[in-house]
Amino acid sequence: MLDSKASPPGPPAPDADLHPETRLVHGGILRSQYGETAEALFLTQGFVYDRAETAEARFKNEDPGYQYTRYGNPTISMFEDRLAALEGAEACRATATGMAAVHGAIVGLVKAGDHVVAPRAMFGSCRWIIEEMLPRFGVTSTLVDGTDLDQWRRAVRPQTTLFFLETPCNPTLEVIDIAGVAEIAHAAGALLVVDNVFASPLYQRPLALGADVVVYSATKHIDGQGRCMGGAILASKVLIEERIQLFLRMTGPSMSPFNAWVLLKSLELLPLRVGRQTETAGKLADAMTAIPGIQKVIYPGRADHPQAALIARQMSGPSTLIAFEVAGGKAGAFRFQNALKLIGISNNLGDAKSLITHPPTTTHSRFTPAERAALGITDGMLRLSVGLEHVDDLLADVQRAAAAL
């Protein structure tokens, strides 16, 4: 058997009572015979066996140990186990990018003839997989307004096997009721996959709310410093080992051990970084509501977010992202971006550096104006990813940009 992760005996899993900060420093450690304090980087493709019999046993899954990095690697295992410890998931598999995680989770769980339900408001590439790619393999889908539970209910067909959603969603920071959707999915005999990138594992725990699978782009808050691409799929041991692992091993979207090492160390600082970025985002969002030219501020931590009650129920913290609208439509949004001196124009997010993007002309330019309007994406909308700069410097930059409107 090639399909189960064989790893040498490591330290015991961290105590279930430990706080997230502690798990992010101690979770998943596999120490070598040298007793290193910092986690080792095993930048190797393969592993040598002491005897032919060991190789045979390892391929028969009778000997714990690694075979080939496409199947598993100690540094990648440490990243997976640490993230699983934070998420409270039984199992995790790392992937090369967030999209490899989304693709692996979806394709691992569906087959020709199946039907998928998902919201219209989704990260562009996720929507492409569901809308454009899956039909080529005989998997149909229905897209709904994710905030309307009745639409999820009405979309169910006898062939429905999978629900997929992202919340808060990109770029409007609209929130979907995970527990409500999970209940509808399970009543239909379907599984629910949640893309938890915008909330980060710190602020929302989809598995505890009833989701079956959680996916991440580790490229975003988990790296947090704009360096490595990465992704992760978290679920029960049964789902990972029986439905997803073999697909990943045989098709090869594996994470590089180097990236796993960077991301593993980044996890140690996740609460510090995201905590500070969120605090700054909250202050900035409040201050932005009073700046002339900024017409609307959408922030999950504000009482005027249209779904504040759901956010209070479902999330333990708000967001490092702010969506807002400026006067003057596209021209206004361009003037605003071009007047910024500190905040960079980039479609990425979760970085230590604050970044801004104009969704209608970048991440959502594939959609028609009518489709964008249906998603609540106006021509004057901007999405700001708040970094680690001082709040006063960011506010001055935003004020300068608003003055140029």
Ligand X SMILES: *Cc1c(COP(=O)(O)O)cnc(C)c1O
Would you tell me the crossing angle of helices 391-403 and 257-288 to the nearest 10 degrees? Answer: 60
Q: Counting beta carbons within 10 angstroms of the beta carbon of residue 133, is it exposed (0 to 12), middle (13 to 18) or buried (19 or more)? A: middle
| The only residue of 67, 167, 200, 219 in contact with ligand X, by rule CB under 6 A | 219
Report d(CA 252, CA 232) in Å as an integer.
Answer: 14
Identity of the residue, 97 or 245, whose beta carbon is nearer to ligand X in the bound complex:
97
Residue type present at position 394: L
CB of 363 to ligand X, least distance (A): 9
Binding track over 104-123 against ligand X, x by CB under 6 A: -------------------x
Q: Which residue is nearest to ligand X (CB)?
A: 98
Report d(CA 215, CA 233) in Å as an integer.
Answer: 5
Strands 231-235 and 344-345: unpaired
CB of 107 to ligand X, least distance (A): 15
CB of 219 to ligand X, least distance (A): 3
> Which one of the spans 42-50, 70-78, 216-224, 284-292 is the region binding ligand X (CB under 6 A)?
216-224
Identity of the residue, 348 or 361, whose beta carbon is nearer to ligand X in the bound complex:
348
Identity of the residue, 170 or 354, whose beta carbon is nearer to ligand X in the bound complex:
170
CB of 59 to ligand X, least distance (A): 32
Q: For residue 80, what are its two tokens? A: 């997976």
| The only residue of 72, 98, 119, 360 in contact with ligand X, by rule CB under 6 A | 98
Strands (E), 33-185: 91-95, 115-119, 140-144, 160-166
| The only residue of 115, 127, 220, 249 in contact with ligand X, by rule CB under 6 A | 220
Residue 252 backbone zone (phi > 0: left; psi -120 to 50: alpha; other: beta): left
Identity of the residue, 80 or 166, whose beta carbon is nearer to ligand X in the bound complex:
166
Report d(CA 122, CA 166) in Å as an integer.
Answer: 6
Runs of H (alpha helix) within 235-376: 237-239, 245-251, 257-288, 308-314, 329-338, 369-375
Identity of the residue, 193 or 401, whose beta carbon is nearer to ligand X in the bound complex:
193
Binding track over 162-191 against ligand X, x by CB under 6 A: ----x---x---------------------
Number of residues that bind ligand X (CB under 6 A): 16
Residue count (the chain): 405
Identity of the residue, 67 or 277, whose beta carbon is nearer to ligand X in the bound complex:
277
229 near ligand X (CB under 6 A): yes
CB of 143 to ligand X, least distance (A): 16
Q: For residue 364, what are its two tokens? A: 């959502």
Identity of the residue, 293 or 317, whose beta carbon is nearer to ligand X in the bound complex:
317
Binding track over 124-143 against ligand X, x by CB under 6 A: --x-----------------
Q: For residue 76, what are its two tokens? A: 């990648």
> Which one of the spans 91-99, 292-300, 304-312, 383-391 is the region binding ligand X (CB under 6 A)?
91-99
| The only residue of 81, 195, 212, 397 in contact with ligand X, by rule CB under 6 A | 195
Q: For residue 119, what are its two tokens? A: 């919201």
Q: List CB contacts of 139: < 8 A, sequence separation 6 or more.
A: 110, 111, 112, 113, 114, 115, 116
Subset of residues 21 to 60 that bind ligand X, contact rule: CB under 6 A: none
Report d(CA 228, CA 222) in Å as an integer.
Answer: 10
Report d(CA 219, CA 401) in Å as an integer.
Answer: 28
- Provide the CA 134 distance to its chain's centre, in angstroms: 21
Q: For residue 335, what are its two tokens? A: 């003037």
Identity of the residue, 78 or 102, whose beta carbon is nearer to ligand X in the bound complex:
102
Identity of the residue, 166 or 325, whose beta carbon is nearer to ligand X in the bound complex:
166
Residues of this chain that interact with ligand X (CB under 6 A) are 97-99, 102, 123, 126, 166, 170, 195, 197-198, 217, 219-220, 229, 231
